[in-house]
Structure 1
Amino acid sequence: MKEWFTLAELLALNLPDLPTSERSLYRHAQDHWNGVAGCVQLRQGKTRPVVEYHVSLLPASAQWRLRQQPDGASWEEARARKNLLWSVFNRLPKGTKDVCEARLKVLVRVEQLVREAGLSRLAAIGVATHDAGIQKSAYYEWRKATEGLDPEDWLPALVPSSPAVNGIVPQMAECHPDAWDFLKSDYLRPEKPGFSACYRRLLEAAAIEGWSPIPSERSLRRRMEAEVPKAIQVVTREGRERAKTLYPSQRRNRTCFHAMEAVNMDGHQLDLFIRVPHREKPIRMYLVGIQDLYSNKILSWRLDEAETWEVVRLVVGDMVESFGIPEDMYIDNGRAFASKKISGGAKTRYRFKVRPEDPEGLLVALKIKPHFVLPKSGQSKPIERAWGDFAEDISKHPVCAGAYTGKKPTEKPDNYMRTAIDIEDLKRLIAHQVAEHNARTGRKTQIAKGRSFDAVFEESMQQPTTIVRRASEAQRFLWLLASETIKTHKGSGAVHFAGNRYWSRELNQHMGDQVTIRFDPDDLHGSIKVYDLKNRFICDAACIADTGFKDQDEGRVHARGRAEFDKATRAAAAAEQRFNQNQLAAILRKGQRDLQKAEPVHPKVTRIFTGKLAPEAVPVPAEDFEQGFSKAMARVAGASVHAFPRGDKAGK
């Protein structure tokens, strides 16, 4: 064991009964150690002499700690072993800890008899084991398990069937590495096989591959629980959705809002068979609703056979007409909510192909910012929790007895499909339950604090700082009418839709353009409202009905309408043309002036031409010309002339 120590080394060892700060330890050495002869020495360090102190100056407890420290091991390693011992002990059940405490009492009783009663160690062991009712061999086994450990670390070393080796309690029996990997791979599968079946397959594989050793099933089961985290077992055996519950859910603070500042919207399929007039068999329907995020109040709802953009449009319209226009709306990216007719034009809409000519959706037109969140998430859409209440209050209501389907096919009630509830009765029930849901007191939310959702909503709406936008009469057409994007006719600008033609004089300005039409699905023979892609109103286009081929009256009416249109167009054109062609020409002639002939412009510096000039033509004498002409005429006169054939035979 090392005998000489510096103050820095003693401070790092953190020995008992010694000061723990550098200044206190230095002062202690000045007061008690520096005057002891033979116990203080100077040793040359790297840059200056260093004072060292002999181990005999240390308190008895500190000397004992140094003697217990393993040779060649640092104090950090010893501390790591101590932490490992206690971490294992803390995970043990209470019954095992009680056994360890009973064994520790025997060891402590022996030390007390030796130190206080003056008995020999052998006699003390005999007395302590006799009083505890155990064999002496058990004492020697426990004492061996605590050998080399501090007395305060004896308790975790006395774990049953876990002898300490160098201060570390072994966890499990030894197993062949390949066998252990085989067992984990077999057990951690989505099929969730039983551990016993996996162990039997392990024994079969070990016999084939020659793996050894293979511990018992209980030992490997304990090792599986100790070494493989619970989260990994849940992910591999129960799926990712179940694993999400291992992480604490997020709690969002909604006190930053006021009533009608932010809402969330979702749909829920009711667990009911519903009787509707246009269907022979009962069907299941969706309840689509909007909830205020500040107060949790249900603002509007509708029933439909599916989550479509039409029902979403109507639910948004009900909310806007009754309470106003919110600033933000939290929805999932389902086909109905992320439809171009609802959220088209939103920058964060990640569904369907986005084109520049896409029209603005209902939310964008109303200046409502959509936020797309995770589906089936109560943290993202609190209305999911309201659906859980309605599943109990509506689907299991006595009025719906016999029409309840059960949450899953495996949970069908005995009276499954015994009857169905009429849709009108269901609407009255939903209206009553929604009103009761909003008016129920005793709510324990962070904002309600025992009040009802209605009371929280009304209180916030009465605050002077609550500003809610209201819709104008013109904006009502955005949700009262269905919309469709269509291309107008290139010739006249007419709109061809659903087998009908719609036209107005203003559409001539938009021939061949993409426009948005808004129409009443129940009255396609009425007029439609036409908007451009920026939702700017163009006109009301009336339906042009087809006429019979022999219908002369309709023909005359059509001709009269065309004549009136031509007359109005010509009048408008004449109004646009202020000057006729004669007036235009007169204005142009008035400004004309005779252009004088421009003088030729020569450069200031000229250069003499030095190249070859073209050869001049040589005149032909008159006598030579006459001789040549006579020779040509004689040559023509002497040539043979072919006679033109006569009759039906070729001339010879």
Structure 2
Amino acid sequence: MTVVLEEARALAPAKGWDIPSSDAVRARLAKEPKWLSIAGRKGPKALERSQPPAKRDYNSLGLHAYWESDGRKADVFCIWPDGSIARPFIIIWREVRSRLVLAAKGYLNPSAAGVLAAFGQALERTGVAPDYAKIDNGREYAAKAVTGGQATRYRFKVMPGEPIGIMTLVGTKADWSPPGRGQDKPIESFWSFVANRCDKASEFEGAYCGRNPVVKPEDFDRRKAIPIAAYAEKLAAVLEFFNNQHRHRGSGMDGRTPMEVYKDLWDPEAHKPVDPAHLRLCKLGVVSIKPSLTDNTYSLTIPGYGVCRYWSKEIAGLTLEVLSRKHSVYYDLENPSSPVSIYDGQNWLGDAALFDKSPFRDEGGERAGAHVKAKNAAMKPQKAALKVVKAGAQLEIPELPAVTKLTELPSIHAVTIEGKRQPIQETRSVPQYPAATAKDEEHLEQLRQKRKADMRIMEPRKYAILFGDE
């Protein structure tokens, strides 16, 4: 306010203003409503925060009536199995009434497959699906694989024939959080619990980067990144503590832990069990790719694990027509070493195992020898079959009659070559031009003089060589 009064006093003589003292201005402003100062100095959002918030009664909810989910990038740099260094993206599903953490998954990047994997873990642990789910408004939640068949902020109308998402299949209705309103999701306050007890743990010193560059610790160094398995172990311990030992004072909790509230409210007859087929779809990521034209392997990149190759002897022996199409490859996001399921449309072709890499210098050569033996064993029946095919395709070629004597060729000197050339008759007439008149000669002389004058101006050196000093 001091700056404003100084500027006003500088303009007062020109404007004819009478500016009171600073104390008088402060006394006058103190008589104005408080909301005017908040709205004018801090903005509309601060004015909204000054209003009393609505308190939600958690006792009105039944168990599994409402779940919630959100994702957050951890503040700790980790080393992934493929050697990359990055912060994991953590996806959490919670039961709202009891605040119990049902599932937690960590991935290199946010994705619909990660959301489904965490949702599938929650379904598997509880055995039931919620009636409603308060979920984030990000693209990973709005993917058709997750919420297909329901309207979203990106998909306002449900079109006939569009893919049906897993949440829609299990009967869970999506309740979308509006953008930029963290207070709409109870899980937002839970992230502070995770950050304080997991990300800021003393064993992660140096790998902890802070929630933004302003609060980044001085000892942070990417080279001090920790293995992702170490972070996963710490996060699991923190979530276990939250579920079983952390007592809440919020609505409907009465100082109990989430697990205690969950057990008190559990009713196995309240919800029907989840279809196991839906659980399988949640656990797997899917990609549509063609097998390699060279060796019939399926190569796909799994974030955090690099490029993985899968191969099946049975699938490699299918027809060229089948192998030339794109196939749906269902893979495990968290365990790339497990076999993948290959589908051609709705037809299951089989499972393909991981084609593991061998050490560059294989001590004893056991793995390389086993690979060569397996390859030779696979090719032996193929080579035998090809041999049979070629034998059946041999044609019976008749033998030539016996040749007893060849006809002698004439001597080269006995061959005469005769040729006659007809002279070309010139039939074209030479055109006749009339002789130039005196007027034509005069015109040509004028053109020569003009060209000579132009050369003298434009190319004086050339002019001097041709005409001297004329």
Settle same-fold status: TM greater than 0.5.
yes
- Given that residues 477 and 518 in structure 1 are in contact (C-alpha distance below 8 angstroms), is that contact kept between their aligned partners in structure 2? no
Q: Displacement of 1:421 after TM fit?
A: 2.4
Name the CA distance, whole Å, in 2 between partners of 1:424 and 1:543: 28
Partners of 1:524 and 1:270 in 2: CA distance? 27
Deviation at 1:206, TM superposition (A): 2.8
CA distance in 1, matches of 2:215, 2:299: 47
The answer to whether the Cα contact below 8 Å between 2:112 and 2:145 also exists between their aligned partners in 1 is: yes
Look up the equivalent residue of 2:88 and give its one-letter code: M
Q: TM-score, normalised by structure 2?
A: 0.61
CA contact (8 A) 1:260 1:292 kept: yes
**Separation in 2, partners of 1:303, 1:260:** 23
Decide whether aligned partners of structure 1 residues 393 and 357 sit closer, same or farther in structure 2, where only a CA change above 3 A counts.
same
How far 1:416 moved relative to its partner? 2.4
Counterparts of 1:446 and 1:416 in 2: how far apart (Å)?
A: 39
Alignment match, 1:300:
103
Matched, 1:207 2:207: no
- Partner SS, residue 451 of structure 1: coil
Which residue is equivalent to 2:330? 519
Contact 1:255 1:294 in 2 (8 A): yes
> Match of 2:241, as an amino acid?
E
Pair 212,478 (structure 1): closer, same or farther in 2 beyond 3 Å: same
Q: Please tell me whether the aligned partners of residues 309 and 339 of structure 1 are also in contact (alpha carbons under 8 angstroms).
A: yes
* Displacement of 1:457: 0.5
Aligned to 1:351: 154
* The one of 447, 452, 462 aligned to 2:252: 447
Q: Which amino acid aligns with 2:42?
A: E
User: Whole-Å Cα distance in 2 between the matches of residues 264 and 319 of structure 1?
Assistant: 11
Q: 1:388 aligns with which of 192, 212, 218?
A: 192
Point out where structure 1 has 5 or more consecutive residues left out of the alignment.
1-194, 487-495, 532-537, 545-550, 561-652
Equivalents in 1 of 2:259, 2:193: separation in Å? 17
Greater Rg over alpha carbons, structure: 1
**Corresponding position: 1:368 with 2:172:** yes
User: Where do residues 282-361 of structure 1 align in structure 2 (5 Å cutoff)?
Assistant: 282-324=85-127, 325-346=129-150, 348-352=151-155, 355-361=159-165
CA apart distance, 1:247: 1.6
What's the CA shift for 1:270? 1.8
Matches within 5 A, 1:88-167: none
In 1: Cα distance, 2:30 partner to 2:88 partner: 46
In the alignment, structure 1 residue 269 sits paired with structure 2 residue 73: yes
Instruction: Compute the displacement of 1:553 (Å).
Output: 4.8
* Paired residue secondary structure (1:370): strand
CA distance in 1, matches of 2:343, 2:27: 73
Q: Is residue 2:226 matched to residue 1:421?
A: yes
Give yes or no for the alignment of 1:460 onto 2:268.
no
Q: CA–CA distance in 1 between the matches of 2:383 and 2:339?
A: 17
Which residue of the partner structure matches residue 25 of structure 2? 220
Query: Aligned partners of 2:98 and 2:339: how far apart in 1?
Result: 43
Distance 2:341 2:256 in 1: 49
Judge which range, 429-438 or 249-258, deviates more: 249-258
**In 1, Cα distance between equivalents of 2:383 and 2:156:** 45
> Is residue 261–residue 468 contact of structure 1 (8 Å, CA) maintained in 2?
no
- Backbone CA RMSD of aligned residues: 4.0
Q: SS state of the match for residue 94, structure 2?
A: strand
Query: Percent of pairs identical after alignment?
Result: 22
Equivalenced residue count is: 333
**1:320, 1:470 within 8 Å by CA — same for their partners in 2?**
no
**How far apart, in 1, do the equivalents of 2:257 and 2:351 lie?**
50
Q: Kindly tell me: are residues 541 and 230 of structure 1, through their superposed partners in 2, closer, same or farther at Cα, counting changes over 3 Å?
A: farther
* CA-CA distance at 1:447 after TM superposition: 1.9
Counterpart code for 1:438 = N
Structure 2 regions of 5+ residues with no counterpart? 290-297, 301-308, 353-379, 390-470
Q: Which of 202, 212, 219 lines up with 1:398 in the alignment?
A: 202
- C-alpha distance in 2, partners of 1:474/1:376? 36
CA distance in 1, matches of 2:87, 2:283: 25
By how many angstroms is 1:197 displaced?
1.4
Q: Work out whether residues 304 and 311 of structure 1, in 8 Å CA contact, stay in contact via their aligned partners in 2.
A: yes
TM-score after normalising by structure 1:
0.45
| Amino acid corresponding to residue 404 of structure 1 in structure 2 | Y
Q: 2:348 matched to 1:540?
A: yes
Which structure is richer in relative contact order (CA contacts within 8 A, separation 6 or more)? 2
Question: Given the alignment of the two structures, is residue 255 of structure 1 paired with residue 59 of structure 2, yes or no?
Answer: yes
Aligned counterparts of 2:74 and 2:174: Cα–Cα separation in 1: 26
For residues 394-415 of structure 1, the C-alpha deviation after alignment (integer angstroms, 9 at most, x for no partner) is: 1122222222222332222232
Distance 1:233 1:338 in 2: 40
CA distance in 1, matches of 2:207, 2:299: 41
The separation in 1 between residues aligned to 2:149 and 2:186, in whole angstroms, is 26
**Counterpart Cα distance in 2 of 1:216 and 1:286:** 57
